[in-house]
Amino acid sequence: MSTPVNRRDFLRVSALAGGGILLASYAEPLGAIERLGMSTPAAEPMLSAFIRITADNIVTITAKNPEIGQGIKTMLPMLIAEELDVDWANVRIEQADFDPTKYPAQVAGGSTATPTNWIPQRRVGAAGRAMILAAAAKEWNVPAGELTTAKGVVTHKSSGKTATYGALATAAASITPPDLATVPLKDPKQFTIIGTRKKTVGIKDILTGKPLFGLDVTVPNMHYATFVKAPVYAAKVKSANLDLIKQQAGVTHAFVVDGTDNLAGLKAGVAIVGKNWWLVQEARKKLVVEWAEHPTSQQSSAAFAAKAKEFFAAAPHRNIRNDGDFDTAIKSAAKVVEAEYSYPFINHATLEPQNCTARMNADGTCEMWTTSQTPQGGRALVATTLGLKEDQVVMHMMRAGGGFGRRLYNEPLAEVAFIAREAKVPVKLIWTREDDMRHDQFRPGGFHKFTGGIDANGKLVAFRNHFATFGQGERFASSADIGPGEYPARFVPNLKMDVSVMPLGVPTGALRAPRSNALSFAFQGFIDECAVAAGKDPLQFRIDMLKAEIAPAQPLTPQQQAGQMDAQRVIGILEMVRDVSGWGKTKLPKGTGMGVAFYFSHRGYFAEVVQATVSKAGEVKVDKVWAVGDVGSEIINPNHAEQQVQGAVLDGLGQAYGQEITFTAGKADQGNFAPATTASGSAANFPLLRIKQAPPVVEVHWKKTTFSPTGIGEPAMPPLIPALMGAIYQATGKRVRQLPLSKADLKWT
């Protein structure tokens, strides 16, 4: 009878030529377990890191996850270096290629890197330190317990002996590695690296323009490609003037790609390949394509909004939560508040457009240089596209110039792999800004109709939301969903969450703080309206609601509890942001207001206060932002943590001011950051935030709690927009319920 076993992390150790040690963490391969006659266990998180210590006491640590600007290439090695107890000045960082046999979970997204790696990466460092100590104890014939370490040096205090890690590394290679599951870790009070400010690894190379990014890749005999897809999503090529295109200067190949019906994979289009990027683009200008009809051409932003109105006038398609008796409670409410909120589709707007380089090798493998956030998924997609086995696709991970969720999706990888195979030359595919803008996996828009009931004591006793979104039946479009636990669920005794969905042919996906980035604007905005209707301070109104949590109808499972917002942690950040911002203590001039919002997203808690001034002409200027975050017990690198929060604030402001993607006859109207002329003759653009629009100060504070550290990239963004809208209301008396702000008339007298 076979007996299940747990996959166990362990270290493999090798001595380096010339003196030194290589520590590689692994998990027992499934094949080895099966050869032992044991059943295959369920997959568990596996630890992945390399440490190389050479005789000169230089420590090289491999960073396994994709670096998209979030600082992960610095943060993960900090965890290892801390427990290894080395001098950070002697640490060198290398970027790993994609290799699931060594580095499982090589992904950038969802603010998962910190919670996933907090303990495992530290264990690798601690195990390496234990082996160095064991080697020194053996060499000096003293108990290991008498030895101490600091900055890569081992000391035996009573004898005065010292040795660098580099001097002990070869001897340590013969030591049996300790069990990673039981190796002791430092008390946080002993940290010398974690919690200190560290510069971004490679920052000098970035600032001096060294070739680090996907766009910088060059390989021998590399050609350039552009791939022209239909303005209407997933439409096929009916005809194209390929004979003319092949005659253009610099063009070596031009052909039609039929594509697949999978919107996340290889779409139909025309590929143009040449040895010069400029000439390829010049040839593209002469390309004439007749596109086949496609059902998506019937869809438009105006039609989406009209359909939402129809939904709101009728019974919802389904209910996802029903607490108490909303219908009875709303009838007896002292005040009833009603409002409709909407937000648009938006683009990810990464400064580095989508790109990838591919080469078909003589051995049948496809070699790729990619900025993907999900190289595992990218490899699988390429293998499917080319009919290869996954291990025949080799992935080199390049630094990305922004991701924000866009590079979770790997269409450029499938496109360039297919083009390289057909052209039989190495190919770099670069999307133009217009390609990038019009063929995004867009953040979906949405529509909400809220109804709230306030009792005579100023409490919110009834709440209903009818959410009009996209999908089919009970399946939501990607990132267009909502959960039954969305706040204020659990904090209003009589609550209904209703949903209606409409079909969508436009591809959608995750954008920084997916779902939360949009839902926060609507839900927190309406809670603000309820506070005003109740005659209550908006910040205190939220705290009072959180203190009146409703007991669940049935006990929650441990999994449900783990993903549920902790009301006490929210109260903590609201109280702190109240104090640091001086909320309610300063009389503001006319035209200036302060707004507040909070949100729980991706395991992190943030509350933010925005102070903004609105001129009589309706121009909005954010004076200052205060952000308070609770992401657990440690801020691993305060530099990156603050930058992530400040970046999230600026990102949110850019979205609020003027960013939207609209559709006409199934086509995106916007094509670039600067104004352009659409087919209808109107100006359309997707403006990024200007320096003059940025607040002079984004003040970041941390409320440390006893919980394990979690990520920061996502949770800081959702509160910003509703807090800004609260400030605008306080400044002007006008409530913004539709984004972007460019649609609102904010003039006041």
Residue 436 lies in a domain: no
The whole-number pLDDT of residue 19 equals 79
The whole-number pLDDT of residue 180 equals 87
Minimum mean pLDDT among 342-351, 559-568, 666-675: which range? 559-568
Whether residue 218 is found in the same domain as residue 92: no
Q: How far is CA 229 from CA 27, 478, 668, in A?
A: 43, 21, 13
Share of residues in the chain with pLDDT > 70 (%): 93
pLDDT tens by residue, 235-294: 999 999 999 999 999 999 999 999 886 656 799 999 999 999 999 999 999 999 999 999
Residue 748 lies in a domain: no
Whether residue 367 is found in the same domain as residue 338: no
678 or 615, which is more confident? Answer: 615
Q: How far is CA 92 from CA 121, 347, 574, in A?
A: 16, 36, 40
The whole-number pLDDT of residue 681 equals 52
Of 168, 196, 224, the residue that ends a domain is 196
pLDDT tens by residue, 484-497: 999 999 999 999 99
Minimum mean pLDDT among 32-41, 549-558, 677-686: which range? 32-41
pLDDT tens by residue, 392-449: 999 999 999 999 999 999 999 999 999 999 999 999 999 999 999 999 999 999 999 9
The whole-number pLDDT of residue 253 equals 98
Band (pLDDT 50/70/90 cuts) for residue 29 is very low
pLDDT tens by residue, 310-367: 999 999 999 999 999 999 999 999 999 999 999 999 999 999 999 999 999 999 999 9
Average pLDDT, the chain: 92
Residue 299 has pLDDT above 50, yes or no: yes
Residue 639's Cβ-side half-sphere holds a number of Cα atoms within 13 Å equal to 15
The whole-number pLDDT of residue 9 equals 56
The whole-number pLDDT of residue 44 equals 29
Question: In what helix (H) or strand (E) does residue 638 lie, and over which residues does it extend?
Answer: helix 638-658
CATH of the domain at 16: 3.30.365.10
The whole-number pLDDT of residue 279 equals 97
Residue 225 has pLDDT above 50, yes or no: yes
* Secondary structure class of 544 (helix, strand, coil): helix
Whether residue 683 is found in the same domain as residue 655: yes
103 or 157, which is more confident? Answer: 157
The whole-number pLDDT of residue 25 equals 65
The counts of H helices and E strands in the chain are: 18, 31
The whole-number pLDDT of residue 11 equals 67
Residue 205 lies in a domain: no
The pTM assigned to this predicted structure is 0.93
Residue 208 lies in a domain: no
Which ranges of 36-141 would DSSP assign to H, the alpha helix? Answer: 72-84, 113-140
Question: In what helix (H) or strand (E) does residue 540 lie, and over which residues does it extend?
Answer: helix 538-547
Whether residue 320 is found in the same domain as residue 450: yes
Q: How many CB atoms lie within 10 A of CB 244?
A: 14
Residue 34 has pLDDT above 50, yes or no: no
Residue 500 lies in a domain: yes
* Secondary structure class of 449 (helix, strand, coil): strand
End-to-end CA distance of the chain: 83
Band (pLDDT 50/70/90 cuts) for residue 553 is low
Integer Cα distance of 697 and 692 in angstroms: 12
Whether residue 238 is found in the same domain as residue 126: no
Integer Cα distance of 411 and 369 in angstroms: 14
Pairing of the two strands 20-27 and 50-54: antiparallel
DSSP string, 246-285: HTSTTEEEEEEE---S-TTS---EEEEEES-HHHHHHHHT
Residue 203 lies in a domain: no
Residue 207 lies in a domain: no
Q: How far is CA 226 from CA 274, 346, 470, 671, in A?
A: 9, 24, 31, 16
Average pLDDT over residues 615-632: 97
Compute CA 198 distance to the chain's CA centroid, rounded to the nearest angstrom: 22
Whether residue 287 is found in the same domain as residue 306: no
Compute CA 661 distance to the chain's CA centroid, rounded to the nearest angstrom: 20
Residue 437 lies in a domain: no
**Is the CB of residue 338 less than 8 Å from the CB of residue 735?**
no
Whether residue 327 is found in the same domain as residue 378: no
What is the maximum alpha-carbon separation in the chain? Answer: 85
The whole-number pLDDT of residue 263 equals 55
- The count of domains in the chain is 3
Whether residue 309 is found in the same domain as residue 243: no
Q: Which stretches of 306-442 are assigned E, i.e. beta strand?
A: 318-323, 335-343, 355-360, 366-370, 393-397, 427-430
**Is the CB of residue 579 less than 8 Å from the CB of residue 699?**
no
The whole-number pLDDT of residue 257 equals 97
Whether residue 656 is found in the same domain as residue 723: yes
DSSP string, 25-51: EEE--HHHHHHTTPPPPPP------EE
Of 398, 430, 462, the residue that ends a domain is 430
pLDDT tens by residue, 708-725: 999 999 999 999 999 999
Range of the domain at 219: 214-294+354-430
**Exposure class string for 489-522: b at 16+ Cβ within 10 A, else e:** bbbbbbbbbbbbbbebbbbbbbbbbbbbbbbbbb
Whether residue 305 is found in the same domain as residue 287: no
Whether residue 513 is found in the same domain as residue 604: yes
Compute CA 509 distance to the chain's CA centroid, rounded to the nearest angstrom: 11
Whether residue 341 is found in the same domain as residue 362: no
Residue 483: both structure tokens together: 């959960």
**Is the CB of residue 85 less than 8 Å from the CB of residue 129?**
yes
